[in-house]
Structure 1
Amino acid sequence: MRSILAASFLIFLQIIRGERGLTRDPEFISGIRNVSVAVGRDASLSCHISNNQGYKVAWIRIDTQTILTLNNHVITKNHRIDVSQPEDTEWKLDIKDVRPRDAGFYMCQVNTEPMKSKLGYLEVVEPPSIQDGLTSRDQIVSEGDNIVLACKATGHPTPQIRWRREDGKHIRGNIDKEYIGPIISLVSVSKEDMGAYLCIAQNGVPPAVSRRTILQVKYPPTVLLTPGPAAGVTGGALVLTCAASGFPEPVTSWVHNNRAIPSGGRFEIVTEVQDGQVITRLVIDPLTSHDAFSRYTCIGKNNLGSAEDSITLNITEARGNDDVKKVRVENEIIYKNPRLEIWEINDLPNPSYPNQENKGKAGGRGAGGKGELFTRRRNNGVTEPNQDLFSRASTDFEFKATFLIVVLKMLFNFLNPEI
């Protein structure tokens, strides 16, 4: 009896297989390869099944238990889903314009008894994106304040956050130039902490992104006259350079012996900003004897205070470029301009001494003396003949006549030494 039932069951299976036209059950040729794709790209998952004639092949999304396709028909209403059969043994699920929510497990299933299936995973990678609401903006703080700089980014895989200073300096309290982590805490900030901080987020999916946060620390000015020459000669030029730093940006000025210096005349003031410092230059041209041992001061001010730095100049008289050039004529006459000054005979006084030392003396041989300086000075500094031997030489003609008489007198004395 049992043998008859077994034979009947075998005959039934053969009838079923004959109706499907099969000699063997479908088999998966290989597993489904996992796929990783960036957001916005297209993705495809493929399963390969042998002996699939007469059977139904479906694609199902596991997390939602949604049937997407059945054989060559799309069941879901998602217009980005499609199915194709490039070969008799290949069933291909296509997803266009992949989005982060498309990530997950997908099942390729054939309706055998029992059901056969294979799973494949779709990974959707997303480049990092910095979240504005959770990332620090530019900050202005006072010296001694405690601050926190935060940076938050999304993406898949989870982005790594790195901080570094834009000027290449080390972040305080960190050995390396880069700090890894979403938050920087700075206790009792100082002006050395000022600058631009870069938050960089990356997760291996290009492009990496960054956000620039500027930290400004309010502090009173500091002023420094940069090293340079503080000496010169009269008639020359000299440039004094001063660097002022502070926040808010200081206003600079120059003072000479406690008097403000305006730009103009022999002074020129040039100001520019370099690397967060106010650089101001004072050009003095020309230098005069009044600049000798005088004090020049650079001042910087902001609403938190002021600072200054001073320098004393060492000015010497120019040599080899005298204001008055004198010519000596054979031990007898030395003159510059006939309208300005005349000396006669031997004992010529030193021109550097005041003319008052020779006032009232007899003038040369013709006037009863030797070495007399016949000059005087007006208030405006112009030298002209004194009221003596040449007092009547008010014009060029009169002077030339008087000068000729003097020359003839000298010639006469030379030819007649005994007289």
Structure 2
Amino acid sequence: PAPQIDIPPQVVSAPSKEAALDCTVRSQLRYNLTWARSSLESSVLPQPEGNGSNLQLKQHYRRLDLYIENAESSDAGKYDCVAENDNDLSGPDGTLTINNAEATDSGEYTCIAENKLGISQHVILLNVGIPRNYIQIEIYNNGTLPCIAIGPPTPNISWIRKDGKQLNQNSTQITQHGNLVITHAGKDDEGSYICKVTNIFGHAEHEAQVHITGIVKPVLNNKNGNHPMATVKRGMLVELPCQVVLSNPPAVISWYKDGEILDEEQMQWEGITVFSNGSLVISYTTQEHEGTYECIATNIGGSVSVATTLHVLESPSFPPAAKVEFKVRAGEEAVLPCPALGVPDPMVTWKKDEMPIPLNHMIYKNDEDNSLVITSANVADTGTYECTAINPAGEAKRAMALFIQVPPFITPGEEFVDAVEGHSLL
């Protein structure tokens, strides 16, 4: 508690006489007493004897007396005795200051004023509350920071952020009792807040720490691994999942293709739709849809991503205007093309008259274009040839006819023939 002092309200002295001003202190703690003259605003220190000053301080038990020797009219005025200990201060104007107020300082305080005409006193009730200095508010919920301070007189209560930022007007409100209410708390509301309490007798501060809890970084259902692959046939529907199994607050889903974000215009142009569950769906896949798709789920707790590489397969096919009939002369080279298209490149095999063709140096397949080459065609090579193109997406066949052209020739016969007159000769 603060020290209490007793001093005479007025001392009268005759000129050239000694004036004595005594100041008695009552305190349970160690204290310090000083005298000051109000008009000079400086403490009167103990004066060594013989220095010419007419002011002397004499220390007694619980008392410090001020003596003015040979008092003159210039010594008239107001003198203040100030007593203080480590915590509190009793000043000449009657103000009691309690530094670092604690709950043990709560109670009734009586201010007593006395002069020759009488005595007056006033009781002040001090209630020092100890608010919580650390509270947790779950994300997007409400929380209250109490600030308990009771007069009289009723103190003024204000709140500030320790980091100097302005209070969020959209999420904070000070109640009539001085509590700070945070509504729909977000990550930005986290930090230290200071409650300031003031009235005519002084001021006090209390700091409280707000921690936003319940924030969960998004977690994805990643059962297919960190970089799965999806393979579909051209024209089929494909769905690339991005399932958030845990997130608080809810995550925002973004999709990227080959490192570039997919905007609404691009997705509409390419026939891509992102559904509310985060999945990306392509209704009709083409080769243009091939690439690496990355789903990124983000909230204030962080972000997580999963990438999927999409491969679009095309079953083998042949150009519609491909030639299906070939004619070569005997002894010349015959080349039968097999212009198969597909993704991936198809594997090609050949048959003649529905029988596999034994390949050798005379009949072989050109690996560059899959064509069948007959180095020296003869009549026996005439027939129906079929090439079959196969890849994981399917297969395609193409038949073609080969005709070997032979120049006319005369078969040797008998040089002499007997004939009967009047009969036909064969």
TM-score norm. by structure 2 comes to 0.42
More helix by share: 1
TM-score norm. by structure 1 comes to 0.42
More strand by share: 2
